[in-house]
Chain A
């Protein structure tokens, strides 16, 4: 086919932003796998041992971090529609979709 390698490849991305998203996603994983940092009873909070409430806290933190990563990824690699043959990205419409950003 007459497609240039660049268009056949992934759409362009801001590598720095992608790396930032990966860091945000890695934080809760690392935090929770370090069991020794939170496997203790005290200080209790409303009767709940630290071990319990700390992990509940991470449910909320992880959700917030994942949502932030989602917003960043949308910015880092905006969607580019494919051409009608479906074998490459449609560079012509690249300019339009970048404004959209939320697809």
Chain B
């Protein structure tokens, strides 16, 4: 366990005890996992509907969640285990541009969603939309544009689910579970965790993560607050923490990109820091799982009220990010069971080194359960997207509500099985690369979704072309970011921005191309008098609230618009 790459970990304290199973911590972890599993199955009885056999009930919890449930659900959904592992890991290894941008990102996120999410809630409530692509279909009358949005959302969500497993793996590895030699012993705990998750998601739908989110968030808040009060005092105070971080960051470079590490961004990193924050904020609510959690709210203004209380999680995330720097001061040595340095292990390792075993167990449980909530919501959202926008739109247009629910439940199992296989058989870096690509891709659906909430000025074919340009440019640009140490592609998410000439988030550059292409082609298509699609919404739909009559789906369902399907 001493084979440390010198470029990654130049100054590390004497080895902590990483080997062996931490029995107490593991017992606490299992205890919480059993409680949560019980809660997940019980959730099927919570606010029990007459029938679970519809996407409205299984997939959106009956659209019944009030302000506080939505707060826990969205918090549990957006601030994932992977975030909790990866953000401090990035702070520990590379500094503020890679890690701390998550704070401005999750601050400006809320004013942005405040503006448009309530419109999406209203129109979805009126027309029974369950996914973003449902809305795009109804508004544009273009099945192809809707399919593009659906496929993008599906592809972007898949690696995100896989990464939740990486979060659980990190915890299990530090707790000492799984030797790297025995495949069964190594992967069995993860397999069982995901099997249980899959089963209660299947039976309880969105109600399961809504209940579990309470446990998860309370544990996370508890652990982080204790950690930020207790840990700095043990390593010499915050002043010393920042001085240690400054020393490490100003004397090391990122071996993958060749860029210097960052304590506080210099002028050359301003654009990167700002575009990472902005691009991520614009993209987050394009993910189907964010939309699912929003649409499950019971009234139009729930999401707006939440926009002013969700920043509590951003505060928490900022503190957590700083724990990455606390780990520098504490000399935490994140060495995996295979003896290699793995930055992803830094937070679990810090907890194991510094806390008594039982509290380390609580902290591990917080991270592991933190993986279950988003994994459940994401698989539900991906399943709903497949059911509505691929199965019903293209394969079986006359599917009944019950058939929709059945397909969605089965798809949620398939999606999770796929994520498990993905993580267990392929190298972890594949999941991370795809997640990086997913962030770039999902932002390319922003024009179709958000512009349509306000205007139909953009032509549907132009939006489709803009999407395609953004997808291709983003993918190529990300591919071309090569790892300077290994030569591998997809080494990062920032690249030189044309015209501006500074490093910037690739998703934002691709988005700019996307919008420009969509605008120019719209003008061209207008001149050419290309046919407009049929819009099934009326302006009043965007202001509807709970209690307003819903549109009879049989009258203007998607299949009515395209009789040739």
Contact = CB atoms under 8 A, between A and B. Distances in A.
A8 interface: yes
B238 A48 contact: yes
A47 interface: yes
Nearest to B271: A35
A3 B239 CA distance: 67
Interface string B92-128: 0000100010011001101110110000000000100
Contacts of A40: 264
A87 B538 contact: yes
Contact of A10 (B237, B304, B307, B540): B540
Interface string B235-249: 001111110001000
A103 interface: yes
A65 B318 CA distance: 20
A29 B308 contact: no
A67 B308 contact: yes
Contacts of B265: 35, 39, 51
A85 to B, nearest CB: 7
Interface in B266-285: 266-267, 269-270, 273-274, 277-278
Interface in A17-42: 22, 25-26, 28-29, 32-36, 39-41
A48 B245 CA distance: 12
B550 to A, nearest CB: 7
B119 to A, nearest CB: 10
B300 interface: yes
Contacts of B126: 86
Contact of A47 (B239, B305, B549): B239
A51 B110 contact: no
Contacts of B104: 32-33, 55, 58
B545 interface: yes
A47 B238 contact: yes
Interface string A65-85: 111011001100101111111
B539 A62 contact: no
A30 B237 CA distance: 33
Interface in B104-154: 104, 107-108, 110-112, 114-115, 126
A73 B117 CA distance: 14
A34 B275 CA distance: 11
Kindly state the interface size class of chain B when it binds its partner: 35 or more
B548 interface: yes
Given A35-B265, A40-B264, A67-B308, A86 B549 contact: yes
B242 A48 contact: yes
Given A63-B308, A63-B311, A86-B549, A32 B107 contact: yes
B318 to A, nearest CB: 6
Contacts of A73: 304
Contacts of A35: 265, 269-270, 273-274
A48 B243 CA distance: 10
Contacts of A77: 543
Contacts of B114: 25, 66, 69-70
Nearest to B550: A86
A43 interface: no
Which has the most chain B C-beta neighbours within 10 Å: A28, A39, A41, A74? A39
A56 B416 CA distance: 36
A59 B107 contact: yes
Contact of A29 (B108, B301, B312): B108
A87 B555 CA distance: 13
B369 interface: no
Given A47-B238, A48-B238, A62-B107, 11 more contacts: A11-B543, A32-B108, A35-B269, A36-B267, A49-B242, A49-B264, A56-B315, A58-B107, A59-B314, A66-B311, A81-B547
Closest 5 CB pairs of A and B: A47-B239, A47-B238, A86-B549, A67-B308, A25-B111
Interface of A: 7-11, 22, 25-26, 28-29, 32-36, 39-41, 44, 46-49, 51-52, 55-56, 58-60, 62-67, 69-70, 73-74, 77, 79-89, 103
Interface of B: 96, 100, 103-104, 107-108, 110-112, 114-115, 126, 237-242, 246, 263-267, 269-270, 273-274, 277-278, 299-301, 304-305, 307-309, 311-312, 314-315, 318, 322, 538-540, 542-545, 547-551
28 contacts: A9-B540, A29-B111, A32-B277, A34-B274, A35-B270, A39-B269, A47-B240, A55-B100, A58-B104, A59-B315, A60-B315, A62-B107, A62-B111, A62-B311, A63-B308, A63-B311, A65-B111, A66-B110, A66-B114, A66-B308, A70-B304, A70-B308, A74-B301, A79-B300, A86-B549, A86-B550, A87-B538, A103-B300
